[in-house]
Amino acid sequence: MRKQIAAANWKMNCTLQQAKELIDGLINENIRISPDQEVILAVPFPYLMLAKEKLKNINGFKVAAQNCYSQTSGAFTGEVSAVMLQSIGVDYVIIGHSERREIFGEQNKMLSEKVNICFGHGIKPIYCCGEPLQIRENETQNEFVSAQIKEGLFHLNSSQLENFVIAYEPIWAIGTGKTATADQAQEMQAHIRNVLAEKYGNEVAETISILYGGSVKAGNAKGIFGKPDVDGGLVGGASLNLAEFSAIIKSLK
């Protein structure tokens, strides 16, 4: 069975004290994580080492950065490289979150370079895709998301795509309280898996964890995660609340 994942995207939130409380709180919940499941905490850069240290002996918990730069080192003031993240043992990096695409102008070409740099330094990318509201209203979301997948990932080989992680996040559902229905998530995520299967074959496509993101909460997680092509969630707002995120973890298949 491919991995079922509950990933927390804290975005630009939490003081150090709040970060400690949230991580300690999750540890104290003692949630049983099966070998087919994983919990990923994508915390702000200043708290990565704290998260690594606190979670080092906790089964099933991994740590992610929310971004990295497309070069390994040099005169790029304010950026953080995959080399640096590798040197502190970061497991995953979120690549191409819609906020990076929309606010910081990141495009598929650059994101494909970021994916490469992650692979070059032993860090697993979590590649995000998803359409804006207007594209959904025009009913061209399948073509739009296919292009994000093809332009960002299709240069990779089959072994790189095995056990890869993708997050489908319709932009109109992120932080808006407006969740896609479980059927809408399933429909798009089956489409994404088909696009991958056409290029890499069914066997590889079946190993890829495709997460849904967009206003996932304790109250809707089970219904969404229950769909066959939804392998968990990338959770923003609700991941900052201990009770909510704990319940979301417990909703994984």
CA end-to-end span of the chain, whole Å? 10
Does residue 236 touch ligand PEP according to CB under 6 A?
yes
Which tokens go with 19? 């970060």
Across the strands, what pairs with 39?
A: 6, 61
Minimum CB distance to ligand PEP, residue 83 (Å): 25
* Residue choice 215, 220, 246, 251 for contact with ligand PEP (CB under 6 A): 215
CB proximity list for 62: less than 8 A, separation 6 or greater: 38, 39, 40, 41, 55, 91, 92
Evaluated on CA atoms 84, 88, 92, 97, the torsion sign reads: negative
The angle subtended at Cα 20 by Cα 18 and Cα 24, nearest 5°, is 120
- Based on the residue annotation, tell me whether 206 is a catalytic residue of this protein: no
CB contact at 8 A, 41 and 64: yes
Binding mask 102-121 for ligand PEP (x = CB under 6 A): --------------------
Cα separations (Å) of 118 from 18, 81, 90? 29, 9, 11
Across the strands, what pairs with 127?
A: 95, 166
Look up tokens 């994101």; give the residue.
Answer: 111
Minimum CB distance to ligand PEP, residue 49 (Å): 22
Minimum CB distance to ligand PEP, residue 220 (Å): 11
**How many angstroms separate the CA atoms of 158 and 210, rounded?**
16
Binding mask 3-32 for ligand PEP (x = CB under 6 A): ------x-x---------------------
Which tokens go with 160? 């790189």
Task: Using the minimum distance from each CB to ligand PEP, give the nearer residue, 42 or 84.
Answer: 42
**How many angstroms separate the CA atoms of 141 and 167, rounded?**
15
Q: DSSP letters of 127-160?
A: EEE---HHHHHTT-HHHHHHHHHHHHHTTS-HHH
> What's the length of the chain?
253
- Based on the residue annotation, tell me whether 198 is a catalytic residue of this protein: no
**Which range touches ligand PEP (CB under 6 A), out of 56-64, 130-138, 148-156, 229-237?**
229-237
Residues 38, 97, 106, 191: which is the catalytic one?
A: 97
Does residue 213 touch ligand PEP according to CB under 6 A?
yes
Binding-residue total with ligand PEP (CB under 6 A): 14
Does residue 175 touch ligand PEP according to CB under 6 A?
yes
Q: Considering only residues 131-170, where is the footprint of ligand PEP by CB under 6 A? A: 169
**Which range touches ligand PEP (CB under 6 A), out of 60-68, 119-127, 188-196, 235-243?**
235-243
Task: Using the minimum distance from each CB to ligand PEP, give the nearer residue, 42 or 118.
Answer: 42
Does residue 174 touch ligand PEP according to CB under 6 A?
yes
Binding residues for ligand PEP, rule: CB under 6 A, are: 9, 11, 169, 174-175, 213-216, 234-238
**Active centre residues (catalytic):** 97, 169
